[in-house]
Amino acid sequence: MIKLTEQRIRNSIQKFYSSIKNDENARYKSWEYCYKIFGEKQNKTDPETIDLLCLHLGFYLARWGMYRGSSFLLQKDYKVHKDAVLEMQKEKYNILRSATPEQLISKDSLKTIEELHEKLQQIYLSIKKSVTDSKTSITDTLITKILMGVYGCVPAYDRYVKYTLKEYNIGHPLFCSSRLKELNEFYLEWKSVIDDENQKINSNGIKYPTMKILDILFWQFGFDDDIEGSLKASDEV
């Protein structure tokens, strides 16, 4: 198990933020645009809005590695996200947006995350089957990146985040809504440091939700530790 320090946490958040602060067209700002537009258009379902949200979601996922290599999404245009977007525009999911770790471990929130996770799995599995004979299910990497992009409610479980959760003994590297309690415990342990650094972030007029800060931390830890590049294989979709 790798030990954490307050300075390591501060440095990691600052390092990631500086990468987008110093470049107005930084790749990782695509999360900001996606998260912001879904907030501005919350629950709206007119055709023009849905089309716009599909475009933002598709570009965000592409910038965050979900359109690489053999991804089935490469075979479709951005409108393929329509069913997922329509589902996420339902009011019953509003409690997930910008929720704190403490709020997310409530019974209602955990149930809602589990329900939406299952719905998205079904939607994207249907799309995947239309372009490939693969029998594999949709990965948590894709689903959690969507949840992060739209609601900012769970870290994106990519290779770096999974590495960090395991190697730093923070939580289980496989996503499950009930395991959000482990992330809440980590947050509460370092709450003063994380909240203090979060207050310093001012990008695109967006207040970063706490789970986005945890996502940044876990990703940066994994990226920095991956000296030999052994974790740099493409995330599966």
pLDDT digits (tens, 9 = 90+) for 46-83: 999 999 999 999 999 999 888 877 689 988 999 999 99
Can you tell me whether residue 5 is helix, strand or coil? coil
Distance CA(36)–CA(208), nearest Å, equals 10
The pLDDT assigned to 27 comes to 86
Task: Work out the pLDDT band at 112, boundaries 50, 70, 90.
Answer: very high
Can you tell me whether residue 22 is helix, strand or coil? coil
Task: Work out the pLDDT band at 237, boundaries 50, 70, 90.
Answer: low
Distance CA(77)–CA(85), nearest Å, equals 14
Say yes or no to pLDDT of 234 above 60.
no
More confident residue, 162 or 205: 162
DSSP of 41-71: TTT---HHHHHHHHHHHHHHHHHTTTTSTT-
Interacting residues of 3 by C-beta distance below 8 A, sequence separation 6+: none
Can you tell me whether residue 94 is helix, strand or coil? helix
* Domain positions in the chain: 6-225
Note whether 9 and 196 are within 8 A (CB): no
The pLDDT assigned to 20 comes to 84
pTM of the predicted structure, to 2 decimals: 0.92
Amino acid of residue 118: E
The pLDDT assigned to 203 comes to 73
The pLDDT assigned to 190 comes to 96
